[in-house]
Structure 1
């Protein structure tokens, strides 16, 4: 089973372009995200969104929905930058009194929060572009050409493999529970979720043992042929 992001990366218009060029373009977009002023970051964000939708063959609405997933964490971080606590209300653009302190917004906080928001959003869109256009086999090739230690590459490969095993087992258990009305009510839903976590751990261990047995049969010597 492949996730939606992984499937799109294999259907990209730039599927056969060398991974080094994709990585260099990602580096360029990241440099622009951290060096340009706010207006330049907005233009870079729009360019990256248009390029991603065209190359990855996805709609703008779908891109916006996926970008909205980490946006909540970003807004929480920006909010902590925007709000300030102090004793002097004169330094605040807007504030409320909390005992002997004032909680509010300073002009410098607005500038910093605005700068951080667009920088983070631009960098996030660049990374999202790389994920949607760099299939996993090209990522392995890129790591090898970058002389990344073989052990780290193998760990990434195994982690990626077990992500799909975990998702596959979780979906199979959830489907079986749904067919038996395991999520019909809130108490049953919590009970079914607890059972899913317990069964998932057992099933993943079984799949790991099966993979280890398969590797032993193939005379595995501790190295994967990458």
Structure 2
């Protein structure tokens, strides 16, 4: 519970207070605690940290790049009668967004990477989170690992067959990976349903305190 409160506090600060220096401080403190104090390898932490930036990139691009009838940008290109470029304000906004996201993510990772799921569930039950949300958390957590395991297995098989040599082969291998990954995850889901039915599942997971 103490660790949960310690992680949720900076997360709420990052979300509610849009202060660049506070968010930078939160990010470095939480990253330090996760990697050096909790001994999570920095290389693995960095790889996990990169994942959300794929989703963040779309938001950043739309904020960073603007369109105007006059050249008000610090860098721009002219297309017909319009200027497309970047302003000082857009750079500042993007910097604030990136640090705000990093602060929030580092707080979440501190809790998620240093606390077993069953302990998190116990805390959620103590603070009276509905069982439906807790069950969704358990299922999402489980299927993330199923997804990663299946993807890694398919990718390893393709690598052994030289499936990623050249652009054409890589493009074909990625499309096959996505196709087979979808099918195999569905098969795993069906197996889980059968296992739950055999245990007389009545629509509610019995999560202990």
TM-score (norm 2): 0.74
SS at match of 1:95: strand
The residue that corresponds to 2:98 in the other structure is 117
The residue that corresponds to 2:51 in the other structure is 69
Q: Which runs of 5+ in 1 are unaligned?
A: 1-19
The residue that corresponds to 2:25 in the other structure is 43
> Structure 1: which 4+ aligned runs deviate by more than 6 Å?
none
83, 86, 89: which one aligns with 1:102: 83
SS at match of 1:58: coil
C-alpha separation in 2, matches of 1:123 and 1:193: 32
SS at match of 1:162: helix
Highest CA radius of gyration, 1 or 2? 1
Shift of 1:178: 4.7
Shift of 1:131: 2.0
Q: Deviations over 1:137-166 (max 9, x none)?
A: 122223322323223322332333333334
The residue that corresponds to 1:6 in the other structure is none
8 Å contact kept, 2:73–2:86: yes
The change in CA–CA distance for 1:85 and 1:57 in structure 2 (over 3 A counts) is same
1:164 paired with 2:123, answer no
C-alpha separation in 2, matches of 1:82 and 1:162: 35
Across the aligned residues of Structure 1 and Structure 2, the Cα RMSD in angstroms comes to 3.2
8 Å contact kept, 2:63–2:90: yes
C-alpha separation in 2, matches of 1:144 and 1:181: 49
The change in CA–CA distance for 1:166 and 1:50 in structure 2 (over 3 A counts) is closer
C-alpha separation in 1, matches of 2:48 and 2:187: 33
1:222 paired with 2:196, answer no
C-alpha separation in 1, matches of 2:95 and 2:186: 47
1:78 paired with 2:48, answer no
The residue that corresponds to 1:3 in the other structure is none
The change in CA–CA distance for 1:99 and 1:181 in structure 2 (over 3 A counts) is closer
SS at match of 1:97: strand
Q: Which runs of 5+ in 2 are unaligned?
A: none
TM-score (norm 1): 0.70
The residue that corresponds to 1:139 in the other structure is 120
SS at match of 2:77: strand
119, 134, 138: which one aligns with 1:153: 134
The change in CA–CA distance for 1:51 and 1:185 in structure 2 (over 3 A counts) is same
More displaced 10-residue stretch of structure 1: 28-37 or 179-188: 179-188
